[in-house]
Amino acid sequence: MPQFLNTNDADFDTRFAALLEMKREDAPDVDDTVAAIIADVRARGDAAVIELTAKFDRLSLTPETLAFTPEEIASAIGQVPAVERDALELAAERIRAYHVRQRPEDARWTDPDGAELGWRWGPVSAAGLYVPGGLASYPSSVLMNAIPAQVAGVGRLTICAPTPDGISNPLVLLAAHLSGVDTIYRIGGAQAIAAMAYGTGTIAPVDKITGPGNAFVAAAKRRVFGKVGIDMIAGPSEILVIADADNDPDWIATDLLSQAEHDESAQSILITDDADFAQAVARAVEAQLQTLPRAAIAGPSWRDFGAIITCSDLSEAATLSDRIAPEHLELCVADPEALFAKITHAGAVFLGQWTPEAIGDYIGGPNHVLPTARSARFSSGLNVLDFMKRTTVARMTPAALKAIGPAAEVLAASEGLGAHGASVAARLARLNADEG
């Protein structure tokens, strides 16, 4: 059974704090191994990547076979059943439609002193997307990473997706195709991250790397950060459901299990203002675990990290939610908009009982790459801006420089930076001379 908490209990604060601090991930320290792999790839390029792929993925490659050929991609895509192709196409279309609205605007204006100011956004030139192999090879994640990059206008999109024992996922290749990616390397691990960051004879380096991965991939992304940009380092998935008694306990139980089935380290929490409903959901979860295909994963997640919190009212639920700062937040209450207005920190919010979180994983449109481990306090889900950067711009006229230059001289002097001041003073002297 999961933990049961009640905000009226004397030990609630202590137990709730412990729940927040619970360490769910025991990431192995692979940093030394990863450092050696990166150094090897930087030194020996393709040869290192090929050796490491033979070692870790039991796959023999040459520089010529590192990437899937167009024929291999077309052939794999041809195997995808029409129903799956249609579903993936609808998902791609809806994700694109959502993210297109995130394209930022340039700005330029002239201020009262005559200074022209503004900024200009532009895409990164090249991005690399990591797609894990094996069980965690999710075509939906390809769409969620690649489409924002494509919408941003990234010129060159590369995917690295390991194919252990040579086994690839046709849906991943189709998702790449639908997202405008045609360069897909069948490599993975820290060696793939190093190859994308530094380049090899065959693999052109990129400027930004995103996508989930195991401990080796995460450590490699941390190490190449600075040389290239990276997205967040994602932790295990989480859901918080706030539900009143006017819900089907079976639906809420399934929603909780839809995070628990991701990973034994995932965390599912229910907050409700009705103690009977809390019990009903707990019973429903137990019942569903009897038949759930991935019960061997969802069960331990629910027992070890799950929690059901009974509170006095929905305002209290909102306060608790902000302390959790959940990755996913379902508001299954009569007036979800009113409750949403009280929420400050959450990655993605799902309003009302007709919006199960799984809709957001696949087809809703918003991104499913979201801040975990309470980082929704300070970060956002993956979005178009992650693949763009802003250049600021300023243009002074002589009049503008006369208006604001003297203050810059004063401040430069106060910071002891003589050339800073002189660069303004020389220009002002010319203006004064011209007028004299």
DSSP one-letter code for 128: E
Closest distance to a copy of itself from the beta carbon of 431 (Å): 9
Show contacts with a copy of itself in window 170-229 (CB under 8 A): 171, 207-208, 226, 228-229
- Using CB under 8 A as the binding rule, whether residue 336 contacts a copy of itself is answered as yes
Structure-token pair, residue 389? 């950067």
Closest distance to a copy of itself from the beta carbon of 52 (Å): 25
58: region left, alpha or beta (phi > 0 left; psi from -120 to 50 alpha): left
- End-to-end C-alpha distance for the chain, whole angstroms: 87
- Using CB under 8 A as the binding rule, whether residue 167 contacts a copy of itself is answered as no
Closest distance to a copy of itself from the beta carbon of 270 (Å): 14
Is 130 annotated among the ligand-binding residues?
yes
- Using CB under 8 A as the binding rule, whether residue 299 contacts a copy of itself is answered as no
> Dihedral, CA atoms, 92, 93, 95, 99, nearest 10 degrees?
130
Show contacts with a copy of itself in window 49-78 (CB under 8 A): none
Is 328 annotated among the ligand-binding residues?
yes
Helices within 199-263 (DSSP H only): 215-224, 249-260
Angle at 69 between CA 148 and CA 178, to 5 degrees: 25
Span near a copy of itself by CB under 8 A; candidates 59-67, 83-91, 186-194, 313-321:
83-91
In the bound state with a copy of itself, the residue whose beta carbon lies nearer, of 51 and 409, is 409
Span near a copy of itself by CB under 8 A; candidates 19-27, 54-62, 243-251, 306-314:
243-251
> What is the bridge-based pairing of β-strands 267-272 and 238-243?
parallel
Of 301, 321, 302, which is closest to residue 311 (Cα–Cα)? 321
- Using CB under 8 A as the binding rule, whether residue 110 contacts a copy of itself is answered as no
- Using CB under 8 A as the binding rule, whether residue 139 contacts a copy of itself is answered as yes
- Using CB under 8 A as the binding rule, whether residue 383 contacts a copy of itself is answered as yes
- Using CB under 8 A as the binding rule, whether residue 417 contacts a copy of itself is answered as yes
Place of tokens 């998935």: 237
- Using CB under 8 A as the binding rule, whether residue 21 contacts a copy of itself is answered as no
- Using CB under 8 A as the binding rule, whether residue 352 contacts a copy of itself is answered as yes
Is 262 annotated among the ligand-binding residues?
yes
Class of residue 354 by CB neighbours under 10 A (exposed 0-12, middle 13-18, buried 19+): exposed
Helices within 22-67 (DSSP H only): 31-44, 46-57
**What interhelical angle do 31-44 and 215-224 show, nearest 10?**
60
Closest distance to a copy of itself from the beta carbon of 120 (Å): 8
- Using CB under 8 A as the binding rule, whether residue 122 contacts a copy of itself is answered as yes
Residue 415 and residue 421 in contact, taking contact as beta carbons nearer than 8 Å: no
Is 345 annotated among the ligand-binding residues?
no
> Residue 327 catalytic?
yes
In the bound state with a copy of itself, the residue whose beta carbon lies nearer, of 159 and 349, is 349
Query: Which residue among 35, 47, 215, 358 contacts a copy of itself (CB under 8 A)?
Result: 358
257: which residues sit within 8 A by CB, 6+ positions away? 268, 285, 288, 289, 292, 298, 302
Annotated binding-site residue numbers for NAD(+)? 130, 191, 214
Annotated binding-site residue numbers? 130, 191, 214, 237, 259, 262, 328, 361, 415, 420
Annotated binding-site residue numbers for Zn(2+)? 259, 262, 361, 420
